[in-house]
Amino acid sequence: MVELRVDFAKKVFDIRHEPMPKGSWWWWFWLFFFNNPKNPDKPRQLMILWSAKNEKTIYCNDMKLDIKLPLDRTNLDGAVAAWYFDGNRMHHNFLLDKCHIKVGKDSISTDSKTPTSFAVNGTKSVVRIGRKMEFIAKENTGDSFKKSLYHSDKLLGNMGYSILKLNHTELTGKLEGKNIKGTAYFQRVFVNAPAIPWYWGIFHFEKGAAMTYTNHFVFGKNVKKDISFFDGKDMHIFKNMKVVRKGTDIPNFEVSGENEKSRISFTVKSYAHSSWIFRKRAFGLIPNRLVYNEYPATISDIMLEDRKTGKKKTSEDFGTAVGNAEHTTGLLL
C-alpha cells in the first residue's frame, strides 16, 4: 500500500471510474471535534455519514433501506446518518434518513428530511446540516500527513478498497448561531469486499501532533495493522502494534507499537458511545450484521521512546488529545 498526495477538491466527489459490482459501497464521512466550554475535558463531537451500497435491501439501526438499482452515480439512492455528542449527552440517530445523494463536481447534497450538504472550494470544505449547523474545515499547509492522502488496496481477485482522507483540518463554524472552533477529520471510502471487524482511531493533539491507528482482523487473524504518528516534527510508522479493549459500555483501549527506532504506548479513554448496526442477508439467505461502534475519546499516558537513546516524550510534550475510537464487531458479507 502506497499513500499518494492528491488534489482533494478534484478527487473527493469523482466516483465515475470505480467499479460497481453487487455489494460495493461508497461513503463519505466527517468527524468534527469542537470546544465544550462547560466541560473542556469532554469536547463536543459530531459524525456525519453519507452512504450508498449496491444492495437491494439493507438495514441501518432498524431503518429498512430498499435501494433502487442500478445505482445512478450522480444521484445515489442511499442514506444520511449522524450522531452528536453535545458535551453532556449522546444524541443517537441525530440524523437517520433514507434519501438521494446528489453527486456533483464539487459537492454532494441530500433531499432528506433535514437537508444536508458538503461542498469543497479549494482548500475549504463546508458541511451544512439543516439551518442551524455549519462546519468549515480548512486543509493544513504543513506536514504531508495532515494533507489529503489517497491509497487503494486489492484484497482478493477484483475485491478491494480505496480511501481518500484528510487526517487533520482546522475547524470553525456556527452551531445554533454560536461560533465553534476545533479540528476535523475526513474520509471518503469505496469498498468492494466484505466488511470485516476493526479497531481504529484518529486523534489530534494540542501542540500539533496527529495520530491514526488501524487493526483489521477476521476470525482472530490480523489482516492489517499499524500506528501512524506525526509528533509535530517527525513521522513514525509502527507496523508491529496491538490493541486491547478494557471495559464494556464506555471502554478504554490500550494501544502499543514498536519499530526499529522507537516504541509507543498510550491509553484511549472513551467518554461517550454511539453505534450504527448494519444488517442484510448474504446471497439473499444468510443473515449477517456489522456493529459499527463509535467512542468519543481522549488519550492519556502516551509515551514515545527512542530505542537507541532512551529519550522519552510524553503528554507534557504533545499536550492534550481529542479524537474518536472505533471498534466494530460482526461481519457484513
Mind listing the pLDDT tens digit for each residue in 41-55? Answer: 999 999 999 999 999
Contact call for residues 45 and 33 (beta carbons, < 8 A): yes
328 C-beta neighbours (distance < 10 Å), count: 21
Start-to-end CA span in the chain (Å): 23
What distance in Å separates the CA atoms of residue 37 and residue 29, rounded to the nearest whole number? 25
pLDDT at 7: 87
The radius of gyration computed from the CA coordinates of the chain, to the nearest angstrom, equals 19
pLDDT at 194: 85
Which residue would you say has higher pLDDT here, 153 or 111?
Answer: 111
Does 157 score more than 70 pLDDT?
no
Find the mean pLDDT for residues 75-82: 97
What distance in Å separates the CA atoms of residue 266 and residue 254, rounded to the nearest whole number? 6
Does 93 score more than 70 pLDDT?
yes
User: Is the Cα dihedral 163, 222, 61, 182 positive or negative?
Assistant: negative
Contact call for residues 87 and 38 (beta carbons, < 8 A): yes
pLDDT at 1: 53
Q: Which residues are bridge partners to 148 per DSSP?
A: 166
Contacts of residue 272, defined as CB under 8 A and 6 or more positions apart, other chains included, come to 42, 45, 85, 89, 90, 250, 295, 296
Residue 189 grid coordinates: 471510502
